[in-house]
Amino acid sequence: MPKGEVLTIPIGHMEGNYFCDEATLSELKRDNRIVFRYADASGQITPAANPNGSLDNIAGICSPGRNVLA
C-alpha cells in the first residue's frame, strides 16, 4: 500500500496503547519504523482520532529488520 493511504481497520485494543521513552520515539521516527497511526477518515492525525491515547497516535510499528509488525 502506498504511504499516506487511509485504511479502515476494526480495533480491539481494550485498555492497551503504545508508549515509549523519548529516545525510542526518536529512533522509531529516524528509522521510519512507525507503520500505522490513528487518523480520521480524511487522513488527519489528530488527538480526536486517537481512541486510546497512544503516544504520537502510533497504531503499529515494525522491527529494525522490518520483518515484524505489531
What is the pLDDT at residue 14?
64
pLDDT in tens, 8-29: 888 876 667 889 999 999 999 9
B/e letters for 7-44, b = 16+ CB within 10 Å, e = fewer, are eeeeeeeeeeebeeeeeebeebeeeebbeebbbeeeee
Per the DSSP assignment, residues forming a β-bridge with 69 are: 62
- Tell me what percent of the chain is helix, strand and coil, each rounded to the nearest 5: 20, 15, 65
What is the pLDDT at residue 42?
93
pLDDT in tens, 38-63: 999 999 999 999 988 899 999 999 99
Sequence-separated (6 or more) residues with CB below 8 Å from residue 46: 39, 40, 57
Total-model pTM: 0.86
